[in-house]
Amino acid sequence: MWEKAFSSRCLASALGLCLGVAGGPALGAEHTFDGTYSGQRVLTKGSCASPDDVSVTVHGGTLTFTNSELKKFVMGFFVRQDGSFDQIDTDVDGDRVHVVGRITGDIIEADVNNPPCEYHWHLKKE
């Protein structure tokens, strides 16, 4: 009986160690993409101002966006483990912005629909 209990404890310890090692990167992945990215947005549809310098800070589930018109606009922002995202934010006035794209390495490539205009972002991590 003592052997059986000892064997079960060893197995449980080994499984815990495996789960701890495998789960380690996954637990920290949510902040892998945090940082400040900057570059330009280019108009792809509509007649709004373009090009325009853009700065984006991704931190802990939020995106803070700054350009020549908006300063520190904050929206919820959740990046999947593969770097992809698809986020819609609607403010109290009903204005909507839809941001879809991917973070690969130090680059954000995104398409932003902010009616009546659409833009493409190419941003590099600072």
Q: Indicate the domain borders of the chain.
A: 1-29, 32-125
Query: Tokens 């995104």 appear where?
Result: 110
Cα 91 to Cα 31: distance, rounded to the nearest angstrom: 25
Residues of the chain with pLDDT under 50: 1-28
Q: Please give the pLDDT value at position 21.
A: 41
Say if pTM beats, i.e. exceeds, 0.75.
Answer: no
User: In CATH, which of 2.60.40, 1.20.120, 3.30.360, 2.40.160 is domain 32-125?
Assistant: 2.40.160
- Any bridge partners for residue 104, and if so which? 107
Q: Please give the pLDDT value at position 30.
A: 53
Contact criterion met (CB below 8 Å) for 123 and 36: no
